[in-house]
Amino acid sequence: MLKHNLCGVLLGLLASTSAFADKKPNVVILYSDDAGYADFGFQPNCVEDMKKLTPHIDSIAKEGARFSNAYMSGCVCSPSRAGLMTGRYQQRFGYDNNLPPGSKGGLDLNETFGVKHLKGLGYKTGLVGKWHLGYQPQFHPNKRGFDWFYGLLQGSRGYFPYDKPSAHRVIQENGEATKEIGYVTDRFGDAACQFIKEHKDEPFYLFVSFTSPHGPLQPKPEDLKRLEHITEKKRKNYAGLVLSLDDNVGKILKEIDQAGIKDNTIVIYTNDNGGQTALGADNTPLKGKKGTIWEGGTRVPFAVRWPHKIKPGSVVDQPVISLDILPSVVEAAGDQIPADWKLDGRSFLPLATGKEASLPTRTLHWRKDGSKGPISIREGKWKLIHNRGEAGAKPELYDLSKDISESTDVSSANPEIMAQLTAKMKAWESQMTEPLWGPNSVGKESKPEKKKRKK
């Protein structure tokens, strides 16, 4: 009897594995906002006061892979999302800078979102949380490939209910305003769980764009009671937002488990840009913060879980960038992006799954504020950065394999490397356009009309 029962169990497991083998994997991207590089327990340099506060986010790295050299293509919220959604450097279509509140512009309608390709492969697509890629109807998430949108159009809002929220800060569902109830991070976690529950029997792509821990620093009072070890007020309030973030990540992971789809679901956790140290984030050991193109402005925590495909506890050291997420997801779905999309990213699946120890070295680029603003390039261990627009700024070179903190400029000792990287930087920038809004922009919104003073 025992032998027959054991055989039955084994056959059941094999049947389950076989069933998943024939299905496209679900994809859940958990995207936090302005979090510090050192503020998660899975990071080897996690600061002491945060080490035990993110167990659910940490579990993604523990059960999958941690990427030690992961970047966003932007150093502020809106551009980083534009690059991730399209798989292309956002500077190609004038998106160097944050989209201003109330703007008439948005992500170029000639650019294609990756979710549109996934829809063609049979995926249901959902976006929960922050959008920040256009406020006018033609830029709405439902028009860019998302079947379901539950979130806000603007880049930030308060965490507690408003009396009268603006049209771009109210939490909407597919264009219809919802009631102002509950704590925002909890609402996004609950909405993500709802989407998973409703689509567990079909392939789905879910992008959960939390506003936490972006300001304002408004943690739940009950979360502050869990942070008695932190005495500095700003840091404590920031940590409270991270606590709520992790609680809701845990809620989403539990829903995936209960739905019976864990083995066939890719979960990616990362953050939209470097931590905002002015509001309590810690980017140790990186130099800089959100809004800069130092490592502290673009390097981010990054972890990926895919059971039976990615070895638990593995580490990927080769540099990756947010532009790589789109081609990686499409490859996991068994397809390729059409060549005429001209993506700048490439799939990191060979690295994550251990099929390849490394991929060909490539250059990675960053720029803010157009051709007169800061610019940088990384190739292998070398990073060249020129903070154009700052008084006395000159090109600087850093060996990131020895100097992750960008503390020692080695440009004078490496003139050949400087010349090579400078040439590649110029060639890349020659393909980019000037920003359509913000500093050094050339669009219609670059010079807003001044209101006439009443005499």
Catalytic residue ranges: 77, 132
Would you say 106 and 186 are in contact if contact means Cβ atoms under 8 Å apart? Answer: no
How far is 35 from 270, CA to CA, in rounded Å?
Answer: 9
Would you say 26 and 198 are in contact if contact means Cβ atoms under 8 Å apart? Answer: no
The HSE-up count of residue 162 (CA atoms within 13 Å, CB side) is 13
Of 341, 344, 349, 272, nearest to 74 (Cα)? 272
How far is 82 from 329, CA to CA, in rounded Å?
Answer: 17
Would you say 331 and 349 are in contact if contact means Cβ atoms under 8 Å apart? Answer: yes
How far is 453 from 450, CA to CA, in rounded Å?
Answer: 9
How far is 361 from 385, CA to CA, in rounded Å?
Answer: 19
> Which contacts qualify for 162-170: CB closer than 8 Å, 24 or more apart?
168/101, 168/102, 168/135
